């Protein structure tokens, strides 16, 4: 089964922790890491903005992507949340099997 690493930035730790916990509790992903103290510089509505954010690293089967995307869009405070997925080409087989066992297809 193919796997993905999905990136999502959040405005603060509380939002990041809530989303991470709900994604795992709903068995959409096996694990979500929260990386704190990220500074983002980005263009928004014609202006250059700077914000402190937290980054979620979401590890899940590729088959869960659309459900994860919909979940984030429904629960995220940003109008256009960052949702970017990368394919995982290789990984420790036991770890990838663990992702399968935790992120069930609903």
Q: Domain of 90: which CATH number?
A: 3.30.70.120
Q: What are 2-44's pLDDT values in tens digits?
A: 999 999 999 999 999 999 999 999 999 999 999 998 999 999 9
Q: Whole-prediction pTM value? A: 0.93
Rounded distance, CA 70 to CA 96, Å? 23
Residue position matching structure tokens 């405070």: 77
Which domain does 38 fall in, by range?
Answer: 3-102
Considering Cα of 6, then 1, then 27, then 30, what sign does the dihedral take? Answer: negative
Q: What are 55-75's pLDDT values in tens digits?
A: 999 999 999 999 999 999 999
Q: What is 59-80 written as a DSSP string?
A: EEEGGGHHHHHHHHHHH-SSSS
- What total of structural domains would you count in the chain? 1
């Amino acid at each position: 089964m193919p796997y993905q690493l999905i990136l999502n930035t959040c405005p603060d730790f509380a939002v990041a922790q809530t989303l991470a916990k709900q994604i795992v509790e709903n068995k959409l992903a096996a694990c979500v890491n929260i990386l704190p103290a990220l500074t983002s510089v980005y263009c928004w509505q014609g202006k250059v903005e700077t914000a402190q954010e937290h980054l979620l690293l979401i590890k899940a089967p590729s088959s869960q992507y659309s459900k994860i995307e919909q979940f984030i869009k429904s629960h995220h405070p940003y109008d256009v949340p960052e949702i970017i997925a990368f394919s995982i080409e290789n990984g420790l087989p036991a770890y990838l099997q663990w992702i399968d066992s935790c992120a069930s297809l609903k």
